Amino acid sequence: MLTIHGVPLSVHTRKAIITAILKKIDYRFEVVIPVIPGNPPANWGTLSPTGLIPVMEDGDFTLADSTAICLYLEKKHPASPVLPADVKDFGRALWFDAYAGGTIFRHLVHPLFVQTVVGPNINNVPTDKAVVDNVLTSMRPKIFGYLEQQISGKYLVGDAMTLADIAVSSNFVVYQYLGFEIDRGQYPKLAKYLRDILANAALQRALADEKPFVDQMGLKRDFLAAA
């Protein structure tokens, strides 16, 4: 059986999990918290050369990157595709996946997560409000404005859920877990798009599975009631 190592609320772990759920692949989930010394398994350095999550094990084959995992699962289990057949849509889905990891996560969600959870709750370092304010005033409008302009229907690309929606929405789940909001007046298309995507059955199942961990960390889940 496929094993996915990661943390239930991790943006990138969730991408692999939702892809497996959408494709009806049986998987086992192993919680590994890389930032807590002593938690990773003894062979963690081999499983994850970067030390990051997620990692997938399929028999003796391993991969340590969420996009690589999703593309591997797509090739191995072509039913319920997460990438479109049309060549331009295919390119656009990969673009949004890259934008989700390289921009939304790296410059918005990751700094907010570090400042509001990892610092104060794990490393005993208080939140630097100036960093949070700077991210919210400089990065957030660029990202939200870009997505607002890109959204024209239920999905980011084509007429079915793709890796683009999985990767982008996964970031917004964590953004909202942290208690940050999407201004519906300013970004109506983005707010509606995310509400609709969060109602997807595969996302609902992934989010239900991570609920105990999210509750334990005292994160917010009330935004899910609207989905």
How many residues sit in the footprint of ligand GSH (CB under 6 A)? 12
The nearest distance, CB 212 to ligand GSH, in angstroms, is: 19
Give me the 100-139 binding string for ligand GSH, x by CB under 6 A, dash otherwise: -x--------------------------------------
Q: Quick one: which segment of 9-17, 74-82, 84-92, 194-202 binds ligand GSH (CB under 6 A)?
A: 9-17
Q: Which of residues 65-94 bind ligand GSH (CB under 6 A)?
A: 65-67
* Ramachandran class of 158: left when φ > 0, alpha when ψ lies in -120 to 50, beta otherwise: left
Q: Least separation, in Å, of the C-beta of 162 and ligand GSH?
A: 16
Q: Does 210 bind ligand GSH (CB under 6 A)?
A: no
**Which pair of tokens denotes residue 18?**
């939702």
Compute the C-alpha angle 202/205/208, nearest 5°.
150
Tell whether residue 10 is a contact of ligand GSH (CB under 6 A).
yes
Q: Which of 2, 5, 8, 11 lies at the binding interface for ligand GSH (CB under 6 A)?
A: 11
- Contact yes or no for 92/150 (Cβ under 8 A): no
Does 35 participate in binding ligand GSH (rule CB under 6 A)?
A: yes
Relative orientation angle of helices 140-150 and 188-198, to the nearest 10 degrees: 80
- Residue 57: CB minimum distance to ligand GSH, A: 14
CB nearer ligand GSH, residue 84 or residue 101: 101
Distances (CA, A) of 32 to 14, 156, 172: 13, 31, 22
CA-wise closest residue to 5 among 60, 58, 55: 55
Torsion of CA 75, 77, 79, 81, to 10 degrees: -40
The binding site for ligand GSH (CB under 6 A) comprises: 10-12, 34-35, 52-54, 65-67, 101
